[in-house]
Chain A
Amino acid sequence: MTRSNTLSIALPALVVLALIIAPLGLDPFGYTLRILCLMLLFCAMGQAWNIVGGLANQISLGHAAYFGIGAYSSTILFGSLGVSPLIGVFVGMFLAAIFALVLSLPTLRLKGHYFALATLAAGEVARVVANSWTSLTGGPVGISVPYRPDAGFWALQFQTVLPNYYLFLGAMILVSLVFWLVQTSAFGYRLRAIKENETAAEVIGVNTYRVKLHASILSAVLTAMLGTLYAQFQFFFDPDTIFGVATISVKMALIVILGGAGRLYGPWVGAAVIIPLEEMANSYLGNSIAGLSQFAYGVLLIVVILLNPRGLISLFESLRDRLKGRQRA
């Protein structure tokens, strides 16, 4: 095994180990732990987006639709019928798959900006429907997950934040594993072929439509699963947050693009930078001028894209290559 291979396995393993140990010293109800939870969740969401957005370069700005479908499905089933979120999560995943299938029929033949805009609109449609269908979703006032910590794991609710943290860590590892399996499989090569040259992929016999469809559905299903976890963590959400363009859809894309699109550790780096930064911007700037934190956020993104469109992870790699070169010399 070469040195770079050892490094690319050892480093993530160390990161995971650090993530396992990290919360042990923290206040189990504390703010820092909640931030870490969100970081893991958004990392997982970015990774789900990465399957279709990163590998195939299908820039979806409507993934909030799947996220919200997951959150609403499990919450409504739990709230009105007492169905465990452990079952509800699968209903959400199923419905998200259906939504992805229906959405793909008209949108998958679109390219570039047209695809991005169409998916953006689809996410907005989901938000408008959730706002108007008051009898089902509770409408704009939002919906609460009934608090039943006594029911234990069956209700997927916990007395402290700590179990949530490990749940999110597990989810993040799971989605990353799925991404890795896709990336290294023949399916992953097909997605990359589409990203790099769709016409060439067509003429060598790749059924580009079907490949994109399968990737979209897989990505949607994983995103819906994370939506349920989010609902069980927050206990309350409304259509504007769960189907939010900036808060969910764009952030998912942003985390991946900032970290490194189509790369396994891209969302890891992206989430580790964006989530803490956003929290800091909110707490330091949030009270002074409304919207300033969003502005800072936007500036950061522009700077990164201008300096290094391949994402932060490529900075790390060029640093590593330079070190290796020096050793060899």
Chain B
Amino acid sequence: MPASANDKDVLLDIGELTAGYGAQPVLHGISLHVARHEFVAVIGANTAGKSTLLRAISGLLPQCKGRIAFDGKDLTKLKAHEIAGLGIAHVPEGRHVFPEMTVEDNLRMGAYARADQAATQQSLERVFELFPRLKERRAQYAGSMSGGEQQMVAVGRGMMLEPKLLILDEPSLGLAPLVVEEMHQRFLDIHRSGVTVLLVEQNVSLALHSAERAYVMSSGSIEIEGSARELLHDDRIRKAYLGI
């Protein structure tokens, strides 16, 4: 397995990562990699450390030990805004939109860290194509929208960065089943357009149907790793997460 992490087309490479919020680490030596153009899911119960892992990648945790390399660059010393500048769009858990800005302003803010501001308009059109609803609601305040629409804004804002890697943290949390389904279709569209996706999801069945490969986290460590298809038929996972 470590051999694959040395492959040329590894986009995100995490090795022996230990991180947390204070003296007590939440992550205990995590190793994980995402290849370019891959769709990888991280699944696991609440408190397994999934969000902490994502926060460590995008520089929102003050201390982490170990290796986080993105496109060959070390991320552990960089700040969140610098990491965004490298092309990692993190859609945080809980739909962090700018509530008192319009949908369009929210999206435009997403292009903030980009070097080529001139192409912003094209990205905006693409996001509107992906989520036509946002085009209809472009002048509405993001805070006055439904949960699903706010999640579209958050994902659309991430896409405005034209990211190499899109990180999605629990995007289906608290959304209606129909909206969740629709959302995952869009994630597949995004992946098909050439963006690498790292998804953290409590809805294990959905995650394994969307992703190509998945890691199962438990108590801050990686328990199982494999292709999504394999994991769907893995007895341990069927018992623990799918309830079959």
Contacts and interface: CB of A to CB of B under 8 A. Distances in A.
B81 A205 contact: yes
B215 to A, nearest CB: 22
Contacts, number: 62
Among A201, A203, A204, residue most surrounded by chain B Cβ atoms (within 10 Å): A203
B237 interface: no
A205 B96 contact: no
Interface residues of A, number: 16
Contacts of A189: 105, 109
Given A202-B80, A202-B81, A197 B98 contact: yes
A191 B173 CA distance: 29
A172 to B, nearest CB: 26
A199 B158 CA distance: 13
Contacts of B171: none
Contact size range, B: 20 to 34
A136 B169 CA distance: 57
Contacts of B109: 189, 193, 201, 204
B97 A200 contact: yes
A309 B89 CA distance: 34
B157 A204 contact: yes
Nearest to B88: A203
Nearest to A194: B98
B163 to A, nearest CB: 11
Nearest to B59: A202
B100 A203 contact: no
Contacts of B98: 192-193, 196-197, 200
A300 to B, nearest CB: 26
A197 B150 CA distance: 14
A15 B2 CA distance: 71
A208 interface: yes
Given A204-B84, A205-B113, A207-B81, A199 B101 contact: no
B119 to A, nearest CB: 16
Contacts of B112: 190, 204-206
A204 B167 CA distance: 12
The 5 closest A-B pairs by CB, nearest first: A205-B113, A205-B84, A200-B96, A202-B80, A196-B98
Interface of B: 58-60, 79-81, 84-85, 89-92, 96-101, 105, 109-110, 112-113, 154, 157-158, 161
15 contacts: A189-B109, A192-B101, A197-B96, A199-B96, A200-B96, A203-B58, A203-B60, A203-B90, A203-B91, A204-B84, A204-B109, A204-B157, A205-B112, A205-B161, A207-B81
